[in-house]
A = this chain, B = another copy of it.
Amino acid sequence: MNTASSTNMRIKLPAAAVFLEIVIVVLFGVFVRYTPEETSRVADQHLYPFFQDVHVMIFIGFGFLMTFLKKYGFSSVGINMLIAALGLQWGALMQGFWHMRANTIHLGIKSIINADFSTATVLISFGAVLGKTSPLQMLIMTIFEITIFSCNEHLVVDVFGAADTGASMTIHAFGAYFGLAASRLLYRPGLKDGHENEGSSYYSDIFAMIGTLFLWLFWPSFNSAIAAPGTQQTAIINTYFALAACTLTAFALSSLLEKRGKLDMVHIQNATLAGGVAVGSCADLEIQPYGAMLIGSTAGIISVLGFKYLTPIVASFLRIQDTCGVHNLHGLPGILGGIASIIAAAVQVNTQISAGMQAAALGCSIGIALVGGAFTGLILSLPFLGQPSDQNCYDDSVYWEIPVEEEAQRNSPDRKEDHNKFSLDA
């Protein structure tokens, strides 16, 4: 069939991947070297455990968080890996170009933490378009998004001098609105009434909890990894308590909003993390643990409300289909984080930051994300990039070889009728 042949990645994906890798190796050959100073190498040494925690968040955390879809586990964890592997190389270049010395990018532990950070934006955006895009589209999005991200980050951090240690604005809000704008351009009217594959299975929900928990656990490292040495401990403690408080309000709201009081895995997997997002911008400021808890508690509430009430509205009225609900996990809590930092600046928790610059950072991150995401979405909507038909969305078998038994089951003509009652027939 026409659709089937157009999703064949055999030439396109290898060609794009190999081409990009060659470009990257050449650029690294020309521009990239180790940090020459012994002193700076030693100073960075203590950051290595922080790096490893962030590294786990990127590959295990994001990867498994998205395995919640019942037939999309291979893609979630596999394409997540592909995006991140490309993104960290490209990110090292893009971020490095803003800080060259003698036309050379010098890499140390801090650089690879930042390279990992830059991939987080794409993985957040990936969540918005999950199940509706091809691996090739994702390679392209990775290149565009990280390039634009690096410019915005330079603006926010180096030009505005804004506080955003845990990157509520530059990574979370940016990644979410970039992905939502791209998703708007890739809108599929055929999926407006949902899709039978767009749900979880019992085990896929448990796999997703692996992702949730590693994100939750290592978030203190994410928010403190690039903080100034004297403030790292503050960032750790703030994030630790923000997440704990957020978890309590997320559980509470999840139960409160269901008529039988039952907890919803979507909320537990996602909204429990909103506190880590929201406390990001203020993480290294002396807001005291109770301040962090207030931010975290609020984030948990906002996030569950977003999943319950806002996502359906955004889908029908704004025509933005947000597979993983990144707006509720990264978008709204990212804005909350930005606002918290504006307030913190206004009440002079720290005299080095200005409310105006914090506000500019927030506006700029969202604005650039929306424009950049829309532009990227436009490019991704080119017809020859192999995106799946509506019917084949959220299904690994379009791009992956699937174990025989699983495939037999998926392709069965009776499947749709029978799959809710395979133990009932007798």
Contacts and interface: CB of A to CB of B under 8 A. Distances in A.
Interface stretch (A185-193, A374-382, A418-426): A418-426
Contacts of A202: 73, 402-403, 406
B74 A245 contact: no
Interface string A15-52: 00110110011101100111100100100111011101
A56 interface: yes
Contacts of A48: 49-50, 236
Contact of A13 (B85, B241, B251, B290): B251
A20 B248 contact: yes
A89 to B, nearest CB: 5
Contacts of A293: 21, 24-25, 28, 89
Contacts of A20: 248
A32 to B, nearest CB: 5
A13 B261 contact: yes
Interface string A66-94: 01001001100110011001101100000
Interface size for chain A: under 10, 10 to 19, 20 to 34, or 35 or more residues?
Answer: 35 or more
Contact of A112 (B53, B77, B200, B237): B237
Contact of A10 (B14, B33, B216, B258): B258
A207 interface: yes
A288 interface: yes
A143 interface: no
B74 A233 contact: no
A246 B34 CA distance: 20
A409 B420 contact: yes
A243 B415 CA distance: 40
B262 A400 contact: yes
A299 to B, nearest CB: 13
Contact of A247 (B85, B217, B221): B85
Nearest to A272: B81
Contacts of A259: 10
Copy number in this complex?
3
A223 interface: no
Contacts of A353: none
A364 to B, nearest CB: 30
Main secondary structure of the interface of A (DSSP, over half): helix
A264 interface: yes
A359 interface: no
A400 B262 CA distance: 5
B78 A263 contact: yes
B9 A255 contact: yes
A203 interface: yes
A316 to B, nearest CB: 22
Q: Chain B CB within 10 Å — which of A67, A202, A247, A259 has the most?
A: A202
Contacts of A41: 230, 233
Interface string A84-127: 01101100000000000000000111001000000000000000
B218 A52 contact: yes
A403 B264 CA distance: 10
A157 interface: no
Nearest to A41: B233
A25 B290 contact: yes
10 contacts: A13-B255, A21-B293, A48-B49, A73-B205, A82-B247, A108-B237, A202-B403, A263-B401, A409-B420, A418-B424
Given A81-B216, A86-B248, A112-B236, 19 more contacts: A9-B261, A25-B290, A26-B290, A28-B288, A28-B290, A28-B293, A29-B288, A29-B290, A34-B288, A41-B230, A77-B213, A78-B265, A88-B240, A107-B237, A135-B263, A202-B406, A204-B403, A404-B420, A415-B423
* Across the A-B interface, the 7 shortest Cβ-Cβ residue pairs: A10-B261, A85-B247, A14-B252, A9-B261, A17-B252, A28-B290, A29-B290
